[in-house]
Amino acid sequence: MLCKAANRVINRNEPTFLEETCSRILSFCNSNSLKQGISVHSPVIKLGLHHHLYLNNNLLSLYAKCFGVNKARHFFDEMPHKDVVSWTGILSAYVKNGNHDTALRVFDSMLISGESPNEFTLSSVLRSCSSMGEFDYGTCIQGYVIKEGFDQNPVIISGLIDFYSKSGLVTEASNLFITKGNHDTVTWTMMISSCVLAQRWVQALQLYVDMVKAGVAPNEFTFVKLLGACSVHGLNYGKLVHAHILLKGVKLNVVLKTALVNMYSRFRNMEDAIKVSNSTPEYDIMLWTALISGFAQNSMFRKAASAFRAMGVSGIIPNNYMFSSILNISSLMLSLALGQQVHSRVVVTGLEGDVSVGNALINMYLKCSDNVEDALRVFRGISLPNVISWTSLIAGFAEHGLQLDIFHLFMEMREAGVEPNSFTVSSIIRSFGAAKLLPQTLMLHGHVVKTSLYEDIAVQNALVDFYAESGMLNDAWQIVDMMNRRDAITYTTLASRMNQMGHHELALHIITDMKNDDIKIDEFSTASFLSASADLGTIMTGKQLHCHSVKSGLCKWFSVLNGLVNLYGKCGCIHDAQRAFGEIGMPDNFSWNGLISGLTSNGYIPSALSTFDDMKLSGVKPDAITFLSILSACSIGKLTDLGLEHFQSMRVIYNIEPQLDHYVHLVDILGQGGRLEEAMEVIQTMPFTANTSIYKTLLRACKAHRNIPLAEHTAKQGLELDPSDPAFYILLTNLYQDAGRHDLAERTLTVMKEKQLRKNTSHSRTEIRDKVHVFVAGERSHPRTNEIYEQIEFFEAEFKKHGYLFQGIGHSYYHSEKLAVVFGLLNTPSKATIYVIKNSSICRDCHDFMKFVTQLIDREIIVREGNRLHSFRKGECSCRG
């Protein structure tokens, strides 16, 4: 329609009318439709109207927008007449292009030419000042503004707010805003933008409320900034802003759509992100990039790939941003093939030298390829590697275990004049920590303390992690106390390191620290806390975490769901474990391992084995951990041949090299099956040095099969490794008693006592009614319960000495019809507790048993019978109601 209008005008052939109207049409096109502007510009050029100043100014703007700043500059230089609008037009084109140096030179030329700047010129110049760090120049401009009486002008105020906030002086920007009145939409938006930049999220949203109250209409620019402020306020704020956009009738242009897509993908709501992008047909490369990286952030790699194809079909050529995104997806998918494919397209497009694409390539090769040379080749191809290039290389080298090269890279980087930032330093600290390079890290810490990097939370978190990992918890806490801001990473780091050290109670205490610091418990910290609860057996805390996860929507995370499977599996609530597993859409190997291990440790051997088959059928490859559970299941189920078959399959079918723990299980399987000589042969021929655990396993088997000579030999070998381990004496004693050799049993116990060896009071724990109970009995099957099992052996010996028939104590009796008791020592010194788990009432046997146990451990024991508690002390029982 515009073309038709232009042609109608052209046909009238009235020069003045023609010039003004064409100028207006171009102006309209500049603001509304660049495409139509392009189609109008050729007839205008043909008419030879370009001596007309206004028309040329409009054309200049059109060229800058459509053909780039260089074409625009050429046109500008050819213009026969120039006014302030022409100068400002080319100046702002340079500013928008990020070419601030040239912009300031154009400003100088303009002043020399005698042309006076207007508010728009000054506003653009201010932008260049803040971008180039020319603070003094900017304040000179402000002086000029005051002198010329521009200081009430909203365009100038907007420019100054922008200048101050980008110079890091948001309070000055805010004062400027408050002292001047009569703000227009741009000024309000600028102030909101300043707050977002300074991360004053609440103030940004408050400004929007004030703006609406003041009767100033927000536009698409305002909403783009507001969406940025939603990043910390959560999805609901984002939705509220979206609702306001619709309510105010603001047009969803492609920029606003991009901001909305970003907001929704940040909150993992890709459904709405897609809905927004499809709500209008307008798409550009930035919207595609936002959408595709949104898919990547949410691990929707197939969708990302099909979006990339759809973009290609629509005729949009990928640029450096897009290639970086796609390469990032290849890294996340660990797909070297995809990465290489993209690399070849990068070469074809001529973007190989682009530093951001190069960085993404370095990262991709370091993540996907075993050969660091691939990444190095790309690195050498970048003419000016930036801090990201160096950091990617350093972090990747760390992943490849090349810690010693990292130091050289770090020095080389500094020689090249590239300053390390918080990413670089934190990567190095983490890699040094992993490689246990204590002196090097202490040196780096000493260096960092003197720089501003020490204020950075990522660097601080890396140091916290380093000290915690090195077991220096006090040093770690010292840094935590010194930090002026802590985040979820700080605490998750601490919790997981404490879990690794076995300090699970300390790990759980971090929940309180996070609450005190007002930090949200996220999916990562929840996983750590669930793991602590599982290992402590604190089912109530675990259930509270479960409730919290449901309420706060964390239950869609693998880490949380897998943590729940593990928790319930370890706490004996196998049905809850199965329910949690059922909620995982696509279980990964952690999910399967958690379920299989839960089933195994609770004695559901056939279910564990069939679950293993399901795992394989689902296409998830079993790993070393899976086989630990499966081998354990076979030994508990006395499935010797099947166990051997599975052990063989590890190497032959799954290419998994069995580790020492697997050999321990193999010895157990053979031992349980009575094939003691073969078990001994395994210990002698396996590619690992034997540990005490494997000898104890064999000794236990010898005891079960009453093979005294082999047992004595095994105990001897075990005691050579650790002469202070009482387990060998206790196991031997029990074997001698079983075999009726009470003389030998007595003698063994005497030797043990002479050596002043005492049974370790090793514990397992569980939580009943808000209290953690320390158990000294547990099931045999779990790898961690070896010590607990030894404890049982001790009690077994004691029980037998007093004529009790020992039936076993622990979790493994949950589902049996036998007397099911778990007995534990409360973690206060004066009390112990026994719980009747399965039986609904306490039978006489149980009473007697309790009385005996109290004599043995000389503590008060409480037994729960339904809701009634019985207290046993010194062999007496009293009901506690």
Partner DNA sequence: TTAGGGTTAG
> Taking Cα atoms as reference points, which of 865, 813, 872 lies closest to residue 840?
865
CB of 132 to DNA, least distance (A): 15
Pick the stretch among 102-110, 167-175, 425-433, 718-726 that binds DNA (CB under 7 A): 425-433
Contact code string over 573-612 relative to DNA, x by CB under 7 A: ----------------------------------------
Q: Does 225 bind DNA (CB under 7 A)?
A: yes
Bridge partners for 822 per DSSP: 835
325 lies in the binding site for DNA (CB under 7 A): yes
DSSP string, 38-67: HHHHHHHHHTT-TT-HHHHHHHHHHHHHHH
What is the sign of the dihedral through the CA atoms of 535, 536, 541 and 543?
Answer: positive
Q: Judged by CB under 7 A, which of 37, 138, 154, 563 binds DNA?
A: 154
Residue of 99, 142, 194, 324 that binds DNA (CB under 7 A):
324
Using the minimum distance from each CB to DNA, give the nearer residue, 465 or 787.
465
- Residue 133's SS3 state is coil
- From 20, 148, 352, 456, residue interacting with DNA (rule: CB under 7 A): 456
**Does 99 interact with DNA (rule: CB under 7 A)?**
no
Rounded to whole angstroms, the Cα distance separating 460 from 476 reads 10
Contact 147, 121 (CB under 8 A): no
We find the least distance from the C-beta atom of residue 233 to DNA, in angstroms, to be 17
Q: What angle do CA 173, 178, 182 make, to 5 degrees?
A: 110
Angle, helices 473-482 vs 488-501, to 10°: value is 170
Order of all β-strands in the sheet with 860-865: 764-768, 771-775, 821-826, 831-836, 860-865, 868-873, 876-879
Closest separation in Å from C-beta 552 to DNA: 24
Shortest distance in whole angstroms from residue 319 CB to DNA? 5
Nearer to DNA, 500 or 828 (CB): 500
Which of these segments, 387-395, 637-645, 700-708, 777-785, binds DNA (CB under 7 A)? 387-395
- Which residues, numbered 470-489, are part of the site for DNA (CB under 7 A)? none
| 315-to-201, 267, 309, 311, 494 alpha-carbon distances in Å | 38, 30, 10, 7, 50
Query: Which is closer to DNA, CB of 91 or CB of 669?
Result: 91
Segment near DNA (CB under 7 A); pick from 172-180, 452-460, 645-653, 706-714: 452-460
Footprint on residues 500-519 left by DNA (CB under 7 A): none
Residue (456 or 738) nearer to DNA, CB:
456
Question: Which string of x and - marks every residue 405-424 that binds DNA (by CB under 7 A)?
Answer: ----------------xxxx
From the list 115-123, 304-312, 496-504, 547-555, the region that binds DNA by CB under 7 A is 115-123
Residues 6+ apart with CB under 8 A from 676: 670, 698, 701, 702, 705, 707, 710
What sections of 420-557 are H helices per DSSP? 422-434, 438-449, 457-469, 473-482, 488-501, 504-516, 523-536, 539-551
Q: What string of H, E and C letters represents the secondary structure of 423-444?
A: HHHHHHHHHHHHCCCHHHHHHH
Take residue 664 and report the two structure tokens written for it.
């321990």
Amino acid at 772: V
Tell me how far, at minimum, the Cβ of 491 lies from DNA, in Å.
16
Q: Figure out which of the listed residues 72, 95, 463, 776 binds DNA, where binding follows CB under 7 A.
A: 95
Per CB under 7 A, which of residues 164..223 are in contact with DNA?
185-186, 189-190, 193, 219-222
List binders of DNA among 284-303 (CB under 7 A): 284-287, 289-290, 293, 296
User: Torsion angle of alpha carbons 396, 399, 400, 405, nearest 10°?
Assistant: 60
- CB of 289 or CB of 632, closer to DNA: 289
From residue 56 to residue 85, what is the string marking binding to DNA with x (rule CB under 7 A)?
A: -xx--x----------------------xx
By CB under 7 A, name the one of 155, 235, 624, 757 that touches DNA: 155
Site string for DNA, 339-378 (x = CB under 7 A): ----------------xxx-xx--x---------------
**Span near DNA by CB under 7 A; candidates 17-25, 313-321, 643-651, 664-672:** 313-321
The DSSP 8-state label assigned to residue 320 in this structure reads H
**Least distance (Å) between residue 781 CB and DNA:** 37
Q: 3-state class of 150 per DSSP? A: coil
Choice between 88 and 640, CB closer to DNA: 88
Q: How far is the CB of 235 from DNA (least distance, A)?
A: 17
> In the complex with DNA, which residue's Cβ is closer, 383 or 689?
383
Name which of 23, 98, 112 is nearest 61 in CA terms.
23
The rounded distance, in Å, linking the Cα atoms of 759 and 791 is: 7
> Does 30 help bind DNA (rule: CB under 7 A)?
yes
Q: Does 38 bind DNA (CB under 7 A)?
A: no
| Alpha-carbon dihedral sign for residues 109, 113, 119, 120 | negative
Looking at the Cβ atoms of 96 and 763, the one nearer to DNA is 96
CB of 373 to DNA, least distance (A): 19
Q: How far is the CB of 391 from DNA (least distance, A)?
A: 3
The single-letter DSSP state of residue 813 is: G
**Site residues for DNA, window 241-270 (CB under 7 A)?**
253-259, 262
Structure tokens at 635: 């030994």
Lay out the site mask for DNA across 118-147 (x = CB under 7 A, - = otherwise): x-xx-xx--x--------------------
Cα separation, 826 vs 832, whole angstroms: 5
CA distance 201 to 835: 53
Which residue, 359 or 541, is less far from DNA as judged by CB? 359
Rounded Cα gap, residues 4 and 14, in angstroms: 17
Q: Which residue of 392, 496, 640, 748 would you call a contact of DNA, by CB under 7 A? A: 392
CB 486 within 8 A of CB 458: no
Q: Using CB atoms within 10 A of its CB, is residue 794 exposed (0-12), middle (13-18) or buried (19+)?
A: buried
Residue 330 in contact with DNA, rule: CB under 7 A: no
Q: In sequence order, what are the residues at sequence separation of 6 or more whose Cβ sits closer than 8 angstroms to the Cβ of residue 745?
A: 732, 733, 734, 736, 737
> Please, what is the minimum distance in Å from the beta carbon of residue 251 to DNA?
8
Judged by CB under 7 A, does residue 162 bind DNA?
yes
Distances (CA, A) of 40 to 6, 402, 847: 7, 61, 100
CB of 20 to DNA, least distance (A): 15
Q: CB under 7 A: which stretch of 327-335, 561-569, 683-691, 847-855 binds DNA?
A: 327-335
- 786 is a site residue for DNA (CB under 7 A): no
Judged by CB, which is closer to DNA: 241, or 567? Answer: 241
Rounded Cα gap, residues 465 and 471, in angstroms: 10
The one-letter amino acid code at 865 reads E
Of 203, 391, 549, 626, the one binding DNA (CB under 7 A) is 391
Single out the residue of 21, 56, 92, 707 in contact with DNA (rule: CB under 7 A): 92
β-bridge mates for residue 767, sequence order: 772
By CB under 7 A, tell whether 490 contacts DNA. Answer: no
